[in-house]
Structure 1
Amino acid sequence: MISTAFRWLILVGFIILTIGGNVLVCLAVGLSRRLWRIANCFVVSLAVTDLLLGLLVLPLSATVELRSGKWPFGGALCNIYISLDVMLCTSSIMTLLAISVDRYLAISAPLSYSRRVTPRRVTLVIFAIWTLSLALSFVPIHLGWNTIDYRVQHLDWGMEDEDEEGRYCQFEWNNNYVALYTFGSFYLPLLIMCGMYLCIFRIAREQVRRIRAATPSFARTTTAAIFREHKATVTLAAVLGAFVICWFPYFTFFTCMGIKEKTNPPNTIHSIVLWLGYFNSTLNPILYPAFNRDFRKAYGELLRCRGPYHRKLQLTRASLHKRLTFTHGQRVSKQSQKHIDTVK
């Protein structure tokens, strides 16, 4: 009983942190002018992905975890749950790939960046990411492409079958689908992202060398912008590193399991790699303020309930105080001048 209650508290706290942290990211980007940049549209898309995972997937995953892997909601909802899980994971990978391309363009060609990366193109890319993720998750599972006999998995389950042996809500992979899905949706994008960031850091190192060798006038006009892009790149590289650490064991484990024809029931290793992957959605909102000063300031203002209205009110008060001080100084000056004239 104590063990179950402790696990319940941990899982509920995990879900609350995931939801709250990603809501904070969305609010920070939306309310802080310092974060109103085109590149942060991808950050918001990634935060929305993690937020939906916390709202739609994690509560069901926690329920299954507390019931020792038994699924109590029937086969149709099991397939929807698995499809949502796959969709949000795929969306995270594709968004990180888009972020790496955006960082490469910002670092390699900063003068043409604003012409290449426009709000319309970013919107189209984000829409394409979500559409592709939806297609790669719901279509194969609901057409049976992922099972050995190409039948839709769990379709014969009923709500009353939860206690029967083998009723575990798992993503079934046959040999062909394992190779295609894992390579196309994880390993290939991961290789591309790693290559992108290696190129980015090589270019960044060369830019820093040129800045140090440049004249002071050139450095004053370009250093601030380039260093800002470098900071954003370091932040997003940390996000990529956390994603690899959290999700690589998951894909490796399930690829090995998918090669086997028999589907094993959930065990301790299954739970560890699954929740390690979920932990990435909790970790991202912590990484942004850890590596980015603008996010730290935005978080601080939100947590102290200091939004745009509060900042505007402070500026208005400061302006009013300055105006009153100036007016008072003018009055004192006039009175002093009158006193001098009287003495004369």
Structure 2
Amino acid sequence: MEQISIPTLGLISVNCAVVIGNLLVLYVILTCKTLHTTTNRLVLSLTIADLLLGMFILPFAIIQDSAGWPFGSIACKIWINADIFLSTASIYHLLAISFDRYMAVRQPIKYPIISSTKVVRFMILLVWLFPFLLASGMFTFVNADFEKKEQSNQTECKPTTLDDGLRWMSGSISFIIPGIVMIILNIQIFRTVVETSRSMTIKSKNGSLRVHRKQPIIIKESIDPTLSLNKLVRPKKIDDLPHNLPQPDHPQPEKDPKDKEKESQTDPEKSDKVLKKSSTIDSPTLRHLISHTVVFGVLEAKKTNIINHITQKRMARRSMRTEMRVARTTGIVVAAFIFCWTPFAILYVSDIQVPGIIFTIFFWLGYANSAVNPLLYAIFSRDFRIAFKRLFASKNKATNF
């Protein structure tokens, strides 16, 4: 039995990392309800693309690099076009995620439309359909070099064996154009987040929080409860009050005795009601109670306004911190994509001749991007970190029993 070489072990390790990492992300997204968001729908579809790449493309790449291609020209064309399809689908998912974050930060008013279920499903359909059409076109226009190589006993099956025009077309559509667009979108995202954060800081320092530093509100009526009461509850007509009630602040002129007798004879019930009402209104205890109620009502309203203002500021800052974290995670994922795929894209488009080991490293560095994405989400996304911790914590509790 032949021993497996160290480079082959490295390729097998990358393949296992791609499959296991994306399986974990897939399981966490499906089982954790807090991750059922618009962006994570796209992440879920990206995970499926990377998982299919690890299951159906990478094992044949290991065979190709370690022992050559033993499956014939037709299988080689199918494998290369399947590789183009899944790799391009993975890249276009990253583009869709960047566009989703761009709309969330730059166009918050229009974002509810973008984040609707129908629109997200349509975006997912596009990022799968467009790479499929590209791969189908590549499969149709591939030249007959595969048959010639098979007849001359050449067992090499690599994408660089395609014509220059096909390589330029597939390289531009699969990597160059979406890569440039992703860079522009993420630069705009970070500029918007930084500018919004600065504007919020300036407002909080220069004006929006001054309401907390005002002097205590003093209501003059609270000093003189009787005056406040007279302004609030004194009847419009003084003559409506009986003459015999005590009025220390504003004494009323006495009426003629004949008028008193007429009022008592014509409407005795009204006289009793007015008497009770006046005695109740002019009670010193009630006057103080109403005065303090008015004062505390005004203070409570001011306090409620201040609390609402503070709550809105905290919610805005919390939302901005969330957007900043998501933008940071997306930016790191896009940066990893640029780092992993740029070397191979340069070789693929320009057909630069390099040693075989260099080509293998660059070729597999692009594949490694599918293994890096789950790690980046686990490290830099707080929601994914919490979900992974719960997953492993529940498994540890299960093993302890």
TM-score range, shorter chain: 0.7 to 0.9
Partner SS state of residue 157, structure 2: coil
- Equivalent positions of 1:166-185 (< 5 A) are 166-171=154-159, 172-185=161-174
Correspondence list, 1:1-344, <5 A: 4-67=4-67, 70-144=68-142, 151-155=143-147, 165-171=153-159, 172-212=161-201, 213-214=203-204, 215=208, 216-257=310-351, 267-305=356-394
Measure, in 1, the Cα distance between the counterparts of 2:355 and 2:70: 15
Partner amino acid, structure 2, of 1:218: Q
Secondary structure of residue in 2 paired with 1:271? helix
Structure 1 residues without counterparts, runs of 5 or longer:
145-150, 259-263, 311-344
1:29–1:44 Cα contact (<8 Å) kept: yes
Distance in 2 between residues matched to 1:289 and 1:154, nearest whole Å? 42
* Contact 1:75-1:156 within 8 A present in 2 as well: no
Q: Could you give the per-residue CA deviations for residues 276-317 of structure 1, whole angstroms, max 9, x where no partner exists? A: 11111111111002111111111122223469xx9xxxxxxx
* TM score, norm. by length of structure 1: 0.78
Shift of 1:165: 4.2
Please report the TM-score for the alignment, with normalisation by the length of structure 2: 0.67
CA RMSD in angstroms, aligned pairs only = 2.4
Q: Where does residue 269 of structure 2 map in the other structure? A: none
- C-alpha distance in structure 2 between counterparts of 1:92 and 1:8, whole Å: 24
- CA offset digits 1:182-203 (Å, max 9, x no partner): 2232112111111111111111
Letter matched to residue 146 of structure 2: H
| Alpha-carbon displacement from aligned partner over 1:103-143 (angstroms, at most 9, x marks no partner) | 11101122442233211111111111111111111322233
Task: Read off the aligned partner of 2:166 and give its amino acid letter.
Answer: Y
Residue identity opposite 1:257 in structure 2: D
Q: Identity, % of aligned pairs?
A: 29
Give the aligned partner of residue 258 of structure 2: none
Residues 221-254 of structure 1 deviation map (CA, whole Å, 9 limit, x = unaligned): 3222222122111111111100100000001012
CA distance in 1 between counterparts of 2:88 and 2:168 reads: 15
Q: Secondary structure of 1:222's match?
A: helix
- Greater displacement, 184-193 / 21-30: 184-193
Counterpart amino acid of residue 225 in structure 1: S
Match of 2:121, as an amino acid? T
Residues in 1 aligned to 2:354 and 2:136: alpha-carbon distance in whole angstroms: 23
Consecutive unaligned residues of structure 2, counting only runs of 5 or more, are: 209-309
Q: Match of 2:158, SS?
A: coil
Q: Is the 8 A contact 2:45 2:93 kept in 1?
A: yes
Offset, 1:218? 3.2
Answer with 1 or 2: which has the greater Rg: 2
C-alpha separation between the residues in 2 aligned to 1:3 and 1:248? 33
- Against the structure 1 CA distance between its residues 63 and 300, is the aligned structure 2 distance closer, same or farther, given a 3 Å change threshold? same
Encode CA deviations 1:45-76: one digit per residue, 9 max, x unaligned. Answer: 11111101110011101111111xx2011111
Q: Tell me how far apart the structure 1 counterparts of residues 168 and 66 of structure 2 sit (CA, whole Å).
A: 31
Contact 1:91 1:129 (8 Å CA) reproduced = yes
